[in-house]
Amino acid sequence: MSHLVASLVTVNRLKPLVNLQEAAVDRDLQRWADSQGYRLTLKTRLRDVVDDDPSWTRRERDFAFMAHLDFVAFDAETLQPVLAVEYDGKQHLTDTRQRERDALKDRLCAGAGLTLLRIDSQFARKEGRWRVLGYILQMHEYGKAFAAAQQDGLIPADEPFVHNSIIDTSDPEHPSFTGLDTAAIERLHTFAASGRMHWSGHWWRDTDGTTEAKCVLSLRNGQYLTSSCTLRSFAIEGISSLAVAEELAMAELGWLIHRYEADEPVALNKTQGEQLLAGLEADNEWHCSGGMNLPG
């Protein structure tokens, strides 16, 4: 009898296709795919998306059969892949073997003409009306449309696409330029007009698969406000990881200004601020990208 009962018990050995973080990415990607007439697949084998290339080595061919892509969006009419997305945990930056596999996957996708976007947990952030991933994907579509219009001769070939020059009309009563940092820029200018700001500067660097951006705000009283953002590096049509990192760092600076005006202890003292600036100046990996009334 016990044997009969045991045989009737169903053992669930099923596993979810995605983890909690990937599920959040899936929701954002699905909304974007629906808006563009795309379909989305999960855990698709690389070989089913990228066609065999006679120039591949044995290692590349074996890898294509074994590896998969986290998410693939494809056109619902042509069934052609339009974008692959990989959600990378911390090991993708620290594990040598994982980094080698990632580089190989990047190379095979690039060789086939498939855009691959690598993202991490930062891309699930929400800033204003945007989620970061949704914002990137929307700017990507604008960039593709702009490039197509240039090919059709509707836009001069030498005119660059500037993603944050697009007018956002989601609020008809308050149209503004598109950007994750629009509100922060307005707050910075208002704060500067109050006379409490000395200068502001922006720095960036690319290191080991990540893009970092940093904002520093010097105050008249000798204190400093500083914000930063680190993202998984990427470069796709329409927008880059540097642009997104700079916008998110500026958005954080806007929030710090708000907290500073509410008398919260968020500022660095003079010594801490000068040490921060000295470190940026001494490290050749950091590049200054401008600011308002920068010293020197």
Q: What is the pLDDT of residue 20?
A: 75
pLDDT at 68 over 90: yes
Q: What is the pLDDT of residue 296?
A: 57
Q: What is the pLDDT of residue 24?
A: 84
User: Do β-strands 38-45 and 287-292 pair in parallel, antiparallel, or remain unpaired?
Assistant: unpaired
Cβ within 8 Å of residue 46, ≥6 positions away: 63, 64, 65, 67, 68, 69, 105, 108, 109
Dihedral angle, C-alpha 277, 282, 288, 293, nearest 10 °:
40
Query: Which among 289, 282, 280, 278 has a CA at the least distance from the CA of 243?
Result: 289
List C-alpha distances in Å: 240 to 134, 139, 162, 233, 292: 14, 10, 11, 8, 23
CA distance 231 to 88: 11
Other beta carbons within 10 angstroms of residue 130's beta carbon come to 19
Are 218 and 224 in contact by the 8 Å Cβ rule? The answer is yes
pLDDT (tens digit per residue) in 128-169: 888 899 999 999 999 999 999 999 999 999 999 999 888 877
Q: What is the pLDDT of residue 96?
A: 85
pLDDT at 15 over 80: no
What average pLDDT does this structure show over 24-52? 92
Other beta carbons within 10 angstroms of residue 255's beta carbon come to 15
Q: Which long-range contacts does 163-169 make (Cβ < 8 Å, 24+ apart)? A: 163/139, 163/238, 163/239, 163/243, 164/243, 164/247, 166/142
Q: Locate 37 and state its tokens.
A: 């007439």
CA distance 290 to 30: 37
- Alpha helices (H) along 211-269: 241-261
What average pLDDT does this structure show over 271-295? 90
What average pLDDT does this structure show over 197-206? 95
Q: What is the pLDDT of residue 6?
A: 55
At position 121, the amino acid (one-letter code) is: S
Domains recognised in the chain with CATH numbers: 20-138 (no CATH), 181-292 (3.30.160)
CA distance 92 to 103: 10
Q: What is the pLDDT of residue 37?
A: 93
Q: What is the pLDDT of residue 178?
A: 85
pLDDT at 10 over 70: no
Q: Could you give phi then psi for residue 209, rounded to 5 degrees? A: 85, 5
Q: What is the pLDDT of residue 7?
A: 56
pLDDT at 236 over 80: yes
